[in-house]
Each structure stands twice: as structure tokens, then as C-alpha cells.
Structure 1
Amino acid sequence: MSLTNVQKKQYRLIGHSLNPVVTVAGNGLTENVFAEIDRALEDHELIKVRYSIVDRDVRETLVKETAKVLKCETVQTIGKVALFYRAALEPNPKLSNLLR
């Protein structure tokens, strides 16, 4: 499920106006955090997640782990915020950030 450069550019444009829906704190990635990110991806398809972790290497590892476990694409990472995309099984036009 690799995104093309054109798709990534389009998703970055949409993601620019989005606010982070989940914040990962010092506790790291727990089951509850994964569940909340998974729910947000299913509802919105394109979401931002803020990683409130100071160490850059740990933050990169957590972003990669999130993408791997939840089977989503990392569209962009800027500082402490990552933009993730995963197509919904049944997109809801009222909730999806791509269909609004």
C-alpha cells in the first residue's frame, strides 16, 4: 500500500489544516493508544498524531512502529507531529478528512 508522490502531496495539503487527534506521551505506545489511533484512522482516514517525546531517535522509532502495527502509511513527519493515512473499509463522508 505505497502512496505515490502525487498522493502524498495531496494528503500533505489536506493535513496542513488538521489538528492532532491523538497525543503519545512519555508512556509510549500502549494498547489504548493503538486502539484510539486505529479508531481515528477508521473514521477519518487521514490523521495527525503528536509524539510528546524529546528524544528524536525514540520518536522516529515510535512513528515507524505505529505505521507497522496499524498497517498505515506515514505521509509526513515534521518535528513531533506525524501524518498517517489508511483507507477506511467503509468511508463515512461526514467524518472522512478526504471526502469533506
Structure 2
Amino acid sequence: MAKNKFDSLSNDTLKELRGTGHHLSPIIMVGGHGLSPTLIEETARALNDHELIKIKIPAGSADERKACANALAEATESTVIHHIGRMVLLFRKNNTPNEKLSNLVRFGF
């Protein structure tokens, strides 16, 4: 089986993903109800479609925001690529991406 750049995320790959994520708008916004089952399900669907997504999380301390991002990543079996302020970038590779929806395909990965 051939290895690809996503088998293990090197610093260069992380840098490329952060650069791609910079151009994205948040498509999931965590509200006052926190990480509800519906929000987790919708995030998983978005990761399946787009592979790389930006999420806006609620205000709070840096530790609370980081915990929220990590909990969402764990619930959706994804990886936190970057978080700054209230924005979080999540990644989950789809082995059969939809070329019309995948942010990785759209940005030339």
C-alpha cells in the first residue's frame, strides 16, 4: 500500500493544511447548547464531505476553547490542525472524497 501525505501529518503537511484553512469560512458554529449529538453528527457529515473544515466555538477561556475543540475532534474521529481564538480547523481524510465538495481537492491536494 502506497503511503500518502496524510498517513502521518508532518510539519509541512500541517502547514499546508493551515494555509488552506485560512481561506475557509466557518461552516459549523458551536452555540449555547455546546456539543450536542446533533452538532457532532453535523460536524461528522461536514468532515465527510469537505475533509477540512473551520469551526467557530463559543467564547470562554483559552483552556475551555481548547477543551471544546479537542472534545469535538475526539467525538468525530478527526484531528485539530489549528486553533486560534474562537476558530478551530478540523481535518479527517475521506478515502473516497467528493471532488465537488472536498476542500482538499478544490485547493489542489
Aligned pair in 2 of structure 1 residues 2, 68: CA closer, same or farther (>3 Å)? farther
Match of 2:4 in 1: none
Aligned pair in 2 of structure 1 residues 50, 82: CA closer, same or farther (>3 Å)? same
Query: Which segments of 5 or more consecutive residues in structure 1 lack a partner in the other structure?
Result: none
Query: Which segments of 5 or more consecutive residues in structure 2 lack a partner in the other structure?
Result: 1-6
Query: Relative contact order: is structure 1 or structure 2 higher (C-alpha 8 Å, sep ≥ 6)?
Result: 1
The RMSD of aligned alpha carbons is: 1.2
Match of 1:85 in 2: 91
% of aligned pairs identical? Answer: 38
Letter in 1 for 2:97: P
> Does residue 1:50 correspond to 2:56, yes or no?
yes
Cα deviation, residue 25, structure 1: 1.2
Q: How far apart, in 2, do the equivalents of 1:89 and 1:30 lie?
A: 27
Match of 1:70 in 2: 76
User: What's the TM-score, normalizing by structure 1?
Assistant: 0.93
